[in-house]
Amino acid sequence: MNFPGMPGGGVAAPGGGAAPGGYDPNDPNIKWMQKTMESCFAKTVMSGGAGFALGGVFGMFMASMAYDTPYHSPTTPGTGPGANPAAAGIPGYKPVDLSSMPLKDQLKHGFKDMGQRSYSTAKNFAKVGALFSGIECGIEGLRAKNDLGNGVAAGCLTGAILAKNGGPQAAAVGCAGFAAFSAAIDAWMRMPSEEE
């Protein structure tokens, strides 16, 4: 590549050849950028952001598949948001079938519900991604190793933290489940490719 201010079309690497990617690895700006991207804070923020984006798309997809139930489903009694007053015993109230509503109201209800579900799923994916990534990075820094044990330990801690409100048994099951899933994914990611 030939950028203005770069004689000879690129930066020479130590030893005479062009550096991979066409940049000088000794440039202080490049070093700062690499150090920033390798920090636990940056990894946690990036994982949380990626989890939020993926969760939003996943939530939107799942919400688009969920319109086979009536509006104000009779399974939620009470008077709060999403509750069905008919199930709470209010006389004269009947659940409204979504398909009997005008198209404009169907679309309004559908998009509103899709947005709420998408945002909720996005927040959950972001929380899991940021929590796992931050814990794994911290463990990697403490152990000074990059191996399967980091992911398993981070999975166990993440699962236990996410299930802590369910009590010690739920935390243990969450720990075991997330650790097993992390071990399986990490082992698959570390397998040598067929090209090697």
Q: What is the pLDDT of residue 74?
A: 42
For residue 15, how far is the Cα from the chain centroid?
42
Average per-residue pLDDT for the chain: 79
Q: What is the pLDDT of residue 193?
A: 79
Instruction: Report DSSP state, residue 190.
Output: H
Confidence of residue 21 (pLDDT cuts 50, 70, 90): low
* CB-neighbour burial class of residue 182 (10 A; exposed 0-12, middle 13-18, buried 19+): buried
Q: What does the block give as tokens for 82?
A: 């999403």
What is the chain's alpha carbon radius of gyration, rounded to the nearest angstrom?
A: 25
Average pLDDT over residues 19-30: 76
Q: What is the pLDDT of residue 75?
A: 42
CB atoms within 10 A of CB 170: 15
Written as one letter, the residue type at 177 is G
Per-residue pLDDT at 1 exceeds 60: no
Per-residue pLDDT at 12 exceeds 70: no
Per-residue pLDDT at 151 exceeds 50: yes
Distance CA(146)–CA(31), nearest Å, equals: 21
| Interval 100-147: pLDDT, tens | 778 888 888 878 888 898 999 999 999 999 999 999 999 999 998 888
Can you give the pTM of this predicted structure? 0.67
Q: Which of 26-35, 65-74, 137-146, 173-182 has the lowest mean pLDDT?
A: 65-74
Q: Which of 7-16, 92-101, 102-111, 157-166 has the lowest mean pLDDT?
A: 7-16
Per-residue pLDDT at 157 exceeds 60: yes
Contact by Cβ (8 Å): 120, 46: no
Contact by Cβ (8 Å): 148, 186: yes
Candidates 148, 139, 123, 138; CA nearest to 48 is 123
Contact by Cβ (8 Å): 123, 59: no
Higher pLDDT, 87 or 139: 139
